[in-house]
Amino acid sequence: MTNGLGNGELTSILRELSNYSPVPLSSGSYADVNPRVAEREAFRLAIKAGPGESLVNGSDDGIVAIAHIDLIDSTSSTAWTSSYQLYEHVWGVVNQVRLYLAPYGGITLYLGGDNIVSIIQPIIREEDIRPLASLVNARIGVGIARNGKVAMKLATEALDTLRSRNNHRVLVLRED
């Protein structure tokens, strides 16, 4: 399963999308507590899969953790800089986040604006992330749940709570 989709459903979607794609499509799914390991092995499976085929190894019944990172006051800094300099700054921060969270299995993605997301190991603790919040001047909401959709929802709720309190720290929310 890939975030709620069974392999049959995924294969059906791949075959339908293949009608519109100029290149052959394939998919690989792999589950591991370490997101970097899961991504690497899923990529290897996708390479092995034939066109319109999805290969799966492992089950999707583990816990997922997502960190939603919001840079503080980055928009107001455009008053003393330019939009391109802000863009450069944000990409530098994305790299800092990527490097900091890599030992926690982090796969870091830039969402746009001043928002970054990282898929991390669910064993991470608030005290593991607090130094990152200080380093990059950010609020970090972390969601831990049985699937990515719920984990992201919780991460965003945690971030919204920090924003409402004007808190520059980390908040971890776990699914009941």
CB 144 within 8 A of CB 173: yes
Could you give the CA distance from residue 110 to residue 65 in angstroms, rounded to a whole number? 17
Query: What pLDDT, in 10s, does the model give residues 75-121?
Result: 565 566 777 888 888 899 999 999 999 999 999 999 888 889 999 99
Query: What pLDDT, in 10s, does the model give residues 127-169?
Result: 999 999 999 999 999 999 998 999 999 999 999 999 999 877 9
Place of tokens 């971890």: 172
pLDDT interval class at 2 (50, 70, 90): low
- Which tokens in the block code for residue 10? 């995924």
SS3 content of the chain, % helix, strand, coil (to 5): 45, 25, 30
Place of tokens 């990172």: 69
Higher-confidence residue of 134 and 6: namely 134
Query: What was the pLDDT predicted at 1?
Result: 43
